[in-house]
Structure 1
Amino acid sequence: MSKQRGTFSPEFKQQAANLVADKNYRHIEASRSVGVAESVLRRWGQQLQQERQGITPQSKAMTPDQQRIQDA
């Protein structure tokens, strides 16, 4: 039996990544509180950090500024 992958909104991903980036949660604490794997949360955190530096991601952007850039 395989696990099914979840689909999360960019807003959810950003809020989850913000727990580590802005609220001083540890990755394991934040991942448990939002119900995702720690590795997933780390990836979202890296993407959020890059977006904040102005780097447009290959995947769907989390931040409103980067979403506007992708939509243009």
Structure 2
Amino acid sequence: MARKNGRFTPEFREEAARLVVENDRRIVDVAREIGVGETTLDNWCKAYRQAHAGDEPALEMSERARLRELERKNRELEMENNFLKRAAAYFAQEQR
């Protein structure tokens, strides 16, 4: 059983957080599955990420360049999206 005197064992907490962090599952789904609150599981995930932050390998130069390019493209797409939203709102208002 995962509980011990009304508390969850550290092993259970780590395994639950690992389900979310390493398997890219939603907190809501895992929380329902194991019977804990979403906020509780979110806190466990934050602690797990913080404890395992150094486990991730550093980015290579090619990966850094790709990341910068993707971030630039993301900013560009966000600007285009905002412009299109404003244009749609303007033309919708003009029709009235």
Specify the structure having the higher radius of gyration (Cα).
Answer: 2
Aligned residue-pair number:
50
Separation in 1, partners of 2:43, 2:36: 11
Q: Using the TM superposition, give the Cα deviation of residue 48 of structure 1 relative to its aligned residue in structure 2, in angstroms.
A: 0.3
- In structure 2, the gaps of 5 or more residues are 1-5, 55-96
Q: Using the TM superposition, give the Cα deviation of residue 53 of structure 1 relative to its aligned residue in structure 2, in angstroms.
A: 2.3
- Larger proportion of strand: 2
- Larger proportion of helix: 2
TM-score (norm: length of structure 2): 0.48
Deviation per residue, 1:25-47 (Å, 9 max, x gap):
10100100110000000000000
Identify the residue that residue 46 of structure 1 maps to in structure 2. 46
Moved over 3 A (4+): none
Equivalent pairs: percent with the same residue? 37
Secondary structure of 1:23's aligned partner: coil
Aligned-partner residue type, residue 23 of structure 2: K
**Alignment root-mean-square deviation, CA:** 1.6
